[in-house]
Amino acid sequence: MKNGLVRRLTAAGVALAVGTALAACSGGTAASTGGDVKAGGYDGPKVTVTFWNGFTGGAGPQVLKKLVSEFNSSHKNIAISSVPMEWDDIAAKMPLAVKAGRGPDVTVVHGSDVATYAAQGLLLKADAIAKTLKMDESDFPSGLYENGSYQDAQYGLPWSVTPLGLYINKDVLKKAGLDEDTVPTTEAEYDEALAALRAKGVQGEWVDPYFFTGVMEFQSLLWQYGGELYNDDVSKATYNSDAGVKALNVMLDRIKQGDSPAKVAQDGDINALIAGKTAFNWNGIWQTSNTALQSKNWTAAAVPQIGTEKAVWSSSTDWAFVNNKGQDSNKTQAAGVFVQWMNEHSLAWAETGELPATNSVREDSSLVSKYPNLKPFLAELDYAHFETSAPGIPSADALLNTAVNEAILQKKSPQQALDDAAKKADLQLQQNKQQYGY
């Protein structure tokens, strides 16, 4: 998942550049409907449904291959053709492919990208499909379903969620004289543990200045202090608030107090945890499948509550039906059957280090028994904040990434870094509104 998110950040720029030219002339429009999806499955002629996805690393390809094979063997009139490619390749190819009627019939996209693709006219409305498949907001974690909507229409149907958690090297705690089984859940407990580690010469939490994972930690802390990234209509950046400054200062204090080196390389935080150089690491659920971690004495827990309320960052992925020129309604209908089947069988997807988005699957007791390392992340979904969804939002988000980097590396004060980023983001958001007409 991590590599997928990195590629998605690159892909956003590609999609924006290509989409600018094609938003008005793609194969369909944002108003296109999802076609005739019938209840009770697909009984039309045999069709091959093309499925583009960005699952190219880790356990994703193997798990996906098994699921697709199982679906194909149990649906004689539907053949799913899975086409894995890099996320940035999907973003680059989709607009031209849709215009030519050669795009996929169904795809998986990151939740924060749904609105951009919808505004470009690349996706079919999925309201009727969701109704037929009996999917609605009650089937998923709070706030997730609505993140797949744009201009009062549904375009994305949730597939997976990936919250941040606290990873703990228990051997490091033990060497510092701390109880390896005591997990800090509050600011006081966390500070006490870090102080005890400092006293033994251990830098307790390495702070990463990059999106992975510093920006995710910053956003979690921002929300814990009651702040928001943007205002309600996503026309103005609001992370340069008191809450934002507090969040960055918490992270900077780790460095100033000696809990972290001043300059941590990309992935240096998780690598330090694995090497036994640090005790705590704020990182994504995908690290539960990190093979280098499995031979260590470790555990995962919910991130501690440092601010005034519980909150944690989470990403997501959504299914989306593609608005190809001349799209075959039979293929769309068959794709709907595939999506429903995949969500019903998404317990297997947990092997990849991602949580199934469907509540009934995630609440199945066999998930924890088969994947016990995922248990601490489940309760976090009650207070998870999902990435902002608005047309062109990745271009604005990238400015925050720069601000966190500048502040953590002490090139600018937290307030100055956030103010500079917010000023540029406000201009970018205005451009997005003009470009996409929302």
CATH number of the domain where residue 98 is located = 3.40.190.10
The more confidently predicted of residues 27 and 306 is 306
- Give one DSSP letter per residue of 326-378, joined into a string: T--HHHHHHHHHHHHHHHHTGGGGGGGT-EES-HHHHT-HHHHHH-GGGHHHH
- Are 359 and 415 part of one and the same domain? no
- Are 87 and 123 part of one and the same domain? yes
Count of domains for the chain: 2
* Cis preceding linkage at 278, omega within 30: no
Predicted confidence (pLDDT) per residue in 406-437, tens digit: 999 999 999 999 999 999 999 999 999 999 98
Residue 41's pLDDT is: 84
Reduced to 3 states (helix: H, G, I; strand: E, B; else coil), residue 50 is strand
Query: Where is average pLDDT lowest: 35-39, 241-245, 263-267, 391-395?
Result: 35-39
The answer to whether the beta carbons of residues 256 and 207 sit under 8 Å apart is no
Cα separation, 358 vs 157, in Å, equals 10
Residue 124 has pLDDT above 50, yes or no: yes
Predicted confidence (pLDDT) per residue in 280-304, tens digit: 999 999 999 999 999 999 999 999 9
Residue 181 has pLDDT above 90, yes or no: yes
Residue 110's pLDDT is: 95
Cα separation, 280 vs 400, in Å, equals 24
Is 348 domain-assigned?
A: yes
Residue 227's pLDDT is: 98
Question: What is the arithmetic mean of pLDDT over 40-62?
Answer: 94
Domain hosting 154: range is 2-161+315-372
Residue 239 has pLDDT above 90, yes or no: yes
Residue 211 has pLDDT above 80, yes or no: yes
Question: What is the arithmetic mean of pLDDT over 232-260?
Answer: 98
Q: pTM to 2 decimals? A: 0.93
Residue 370's pLDDT is: 97
Residue 5's pLDDT is: 52
Is 380 domain-assigned?
A: no
Helix ranges (H only) for 75-224 are 87-99, 114-119, 127-132, 170-175, 187-199, 216-224
Residue 438's pLDDT is: 81
Cα separation, 220 vs 305, in Å, equals 9
- Are 245 and 351 part of one and the same domain? no
The answer to whether the beta carbons of residues 220 and 227 sit under 8 Å apart is no
Is 248 domain-assigned?
A: yes
**pLDDT-based confidence at 20, cuts 50/70/90?**
very low
- Are 262 and 404 part of one and the same domain? yes
Is 305 domain-assigned?
A: yes
Q: What percent of the chain is modeled with pLDDT above 90?
A: 90
CB-facing half-sphere around the CA of 379: CA atoms within 13 A: 9
Number of continuous H segments (helices) and E segments (strands) in the chain: 16, 11
- Are 14 and 78 part of one and the same domain? yes
Is 101 domain-assigned?
A: yes
Is 291 domain-assigned?
A: yes
Residue 13 has pLDDT above 90, yes or no: no
Residue 270 has pLDDT above 70, yes or no: yes
- Are 260 and 133 part of one and the same domain? no
- Are 309 and 321 part of one and the same domain? no
Is 255 domain-assigned?
A: yes
Residue 36's pLDDT is: 52
Q: What percent of the chain is modeled with pLDDT above 70?
A: 91
- Are 94 and 122 part of one and the same domain? yes
Residue 16 has pLDDT above 70, yes or no: no
Which one, of 285, 289, 339, 349, lies nearest residue 64 by Cα?
349
Is 379 domain-assigned?
A: no
**pLDDT-based confidence at 31, cuts 50/70/90?**
very low
Residue 28's pLDDT is: 44
**Polymer length in residues for the chain:** 438
Mean of all residue pLDDT scores within the chain: 92
Question: What is the arithmetic mean of pLDDT over 69-75?
Answer: 98
- Are 110 and 201 part of one and the same domain? no
Residues in Cβ contact with 346 at an 8 Å cutoff, skipping those fewer than 6 apart: 159, 160, 356, 357, 358, 361
- Are 267 and 233 part of one and the same domain? yes
The answer to whether the beta carbons of residues 195 and 150 sit under 8 Å apart is no
The answer to whether the beta carbons of residues 150 and 391 sit under 8 Å apart is yes
- Are 140 and 225 part of one and the same domain? no
Residue 34 has pLDDT above 60, yes or no: no
Reduced to 3 states (helix: H, G, I; strand: E, B; else coil), residue 29 is coil
- Are 319 and 302 part of one and the same domain? no
- Give one DSSP letter per residue of 65-102, joined into a string: HHHHHHHHHH-TTEEEEEEE--HHHHHHHHHHHHHTT-
